[in-house]
Homo-oligomer: A and B are copies of this chain.
Amino acid sequence: MNKKISDKVINRLTLYHCILSDFLNDKIEFISSKQIAQLLHIDDSQVRKDINLLNNSGKCRVGYIVKELKISIEKTLGFKKTKKAFIIGSGNLGSAIANYGNFTDYGLNILALFDNDPNKIGKVINRMKIQNVNELESVAKRENVDIAILTVPRQFAQATADFLVKANIKYIWNFTPTVLSVPDDVQVWNENLMGNFLQFTYNI
């Protein structure tokens, strides 16, 4: 699978994957593009087009074999290619992400949370220990981690990003409502909640 898959398609495939997981839980063996399309309120030709990008989509006479289509999405999107990450900031948002549940199914392995609050260091959230942020660099090196999930309060976001860059973190998943200044070799994904909200409600 070497075709470049666009962001929008990746997004939709992940949603199809959610639906397939639910169907599998309910022991339903087959699914049609129309069923997927109806749940997402999109056109079923779009669903078929997306699925056609996959190898071995599990296509059969009555639609797709749920199990096969699910595996195919997992292979295409690299769910088995585990990526290690840290959460920086163990407040509500960091804790929510640590507890989010099925990240590991998608290949995201969160090893630890880091904080600078002595009252939080040492506590455990969802089997992950909150560690002193001073240890981040050495743990990152030892465990070969270059993804950080940034959930600190806004006013500390840039200083923390600077610290992460020094610790050789190359990918920052930014949940803070601020734009970070980082060198060119560091990638930031802005989890731009307000932007999403405005897209959602633009036509209300």
A residues apposed to B, CB below 8 Å: 5, 7, 10-15, 18-19, 22, 39-41, 77-78, 83, 91-93, 95-97, 99-103, 106, 108, 147, 151, 154, 171, 173, 177-181, 184, 187-202, 204
Copies in the complex: 2
On whether the beta carbons of A184 and B41 are closer than 8 Å, the reply is: yes
The docked-state distance in angstroms from the alpha carbon of A190 to that of B39 is 12
B residues near A194, Cβ cutoff 8 Å = 14, 102-103, 106, 108
Known: A14-B192, A77-B202. A197 touches B100 (CB 8 A): no
CB <8 Å contact, A189 and B196:
yes
Which residues of chain B are within 8 angstroms of A40 by Cβ–Cβ distance?
179
Contact A15 B190 (CB under 8 A): yes
Q: Are B199 and A102 in contact (CB under 8 A)?
A: no
For the complex, give the distance between the alpha carbons of A5 and B190 in Å: 20
